[in-house]
Amino acid sequence: MRPWRSPYLRWRIETYSGIDAEAVDAKAFREFVWRERGSVRRYLRWVGEMRSGWGSATPRRPPAGR
């Protein structure tokens, strides 16, 4: 696994921290994740909650007459 090579993650790091996406290498990725570990942990927890809710949610139907 080399997440620092992901264009999506590099873009997310750039928009969140201001680090140029082209400058994100293994070292910059590790430093970012360590520095922002609290935010990363909260984000991953939120993603887990969203994923677990997707399978159990019932789709909404529009009200009758519309």
DSSP conformation letters of 42-53: HHHHHHHHHHHH
- Distance, in Å, from the CA atom of 33 to the CA atom of 11, rounded to the nearest integer, reads 14
pLDDT tens-place string over residues 11-26: 999 999 999 999 999 9
pLDDT tens-place string over residues 50-62: 998 876 555 566 6
3 state DSSP class of 56: helix
DSSP state of 25: -
Ranges of each domain in the chain: 3-50
Q: What is the pTM of this model?
A: 0.68
The two tokens of residue 6 are: 């992901």
